[in-house]
Amino acid sequence: MHTVEELLNNLRRSKFRSSFSLTGDEIRYCREKGYDVIKKHAYDFINEKLRPAQPYNDGKQTPMKGHPVFKAMHACACCCRDCLNKWYHVPKNVELCDADCDKIVSLLMAWVGDQIRKNGHSNCQGS
């Protein structure tokens, strides 16, 4: 079992995963919406794009931009079932349980918070 910080450190070692960062507009969006709203969006996206055993258009279902959580999903290797399997050994073709979704959202929110702090801003309200 890895901590969120250990997972983030592993992701930072990946040239591809570490290439993602939030823009100033995305950071402002997070700050304006607040932690709870961004977290709700993360759950909504995970439930739609990863929870099903066979997500629609798997491997191409998560946009690379358009929402801070989408970037977080790519940066954290939580963008498709192949990446979940490769990085976290989450079985494919099995619906994710609530605990799996909670772990993913915790990782995504930690990455978003880390991005906001790195860019010299206070974190999303509530975290």
Residues 69-123 pLDDT 10s? 999 999 999 999 999 999 999 999 999 999 999 999 999 999 999 999 988 755 5
pTM: 0.90
Mean pLDDT of 15-32: 96
pLDDT in the model for residue 104: 97
Total Cβ atoms within 10 A of residue 51: 17
pLDDT in the model for residue 94: 96
Mean pLDDT rounded to a whole number for the chain: 92
pLDDT in the model for residue 124: 57
Half-sphere exposure of 31 (CA within 13 A, CB side): 15
Among 122, 119, 98, 127, smallest CA distance to 38 is for 127
Both tokens assigned to 89? 């050994």
45-49, 59-63, 122-126: which is most confident: 45-49
**Cα dihedral sign for 61, 62, 64, 67?**
positive
Cα separation, 127 vs 46, in Å, equals 20
Total Cβ atoms within 10 A of residue 37: 15
- Domain spans of the chain, in order of start: 4-118
pLDDT in the model for residue 58: 86
pLDDT in the model for residue 126: 46
Total Cβ atoms within 10 A of residue 13: 8
